[in-house]
Homo-oligomer: A and B are copies of this chain.
Amino acid sequence: MKKTRYTCGLDAAIDVVGGKWKVLILWALYEPGTLRFGQLRREVPGVSERILAVQLRDLEKAGLVRREMYHQVPPKVEYSLTELGKSLVAALVPLGEWGDAHMTTIEAIPRD
């Protein structure tokens, strides 16, 4: 287990969120509350099964997502946000609104 030092809270937060998938997964779980793997995959367009599984494991380790397994046949696995995960999504709302408001500008940014 490696400890990381951060410059500031934003640095730390960005490290936890780490790329677009984690953010989209957290976002997708916010409203419905609980989703099964397949449902979650449909809510995050373009994500592969492998990437979703890896990102979910990371989010679980980070204490942001709860994974609950029901021992039935076939086994049912459900994902939901922890309190920490909910507070993170709430903190991401203004950033999402900024992206919505400036979508056209952002899409027009020249990329290499």
Interface residues of A (CB under 8 A from B): 1-17, 19-20, 23-24, 27, 44-46, 61-63, 84, 87-88, 90-103, 105-111
| Copies of this chain, whole number | 2
Q: Which B-chain residue is minimally distant from A101 (CB atoms)?
A: B9
Asked if B99 and A84 sit within 8 Å, CB to CB, the answer is: no
Q: Whole-angstrom distance between the alpha carbons of A15 and B87 in the complex?
A: 22
What residues of chain B lie closer than 8 Å to A96, measured between beta carbons? 8-10, 13
Contact B108 A97 (CB under 8 A): no
Closest beta carbon of chain B to A3's beta carbon, Å:
5
Contact B109 A63, beta carbon cutoff 8 Å? yes
CB <8 Å contact, A91 and B87? no
Contact assessment for B62 and A2 in the assembled complex, using a CB-CB cutoff below 8 Å: no
Shortest Cβ distance from residue A93 to the other chain B in the assembled complex, whole angstroms: 8
- Measured CB to CB, the closest approach of chain B to A74, in angstroms, equals 29
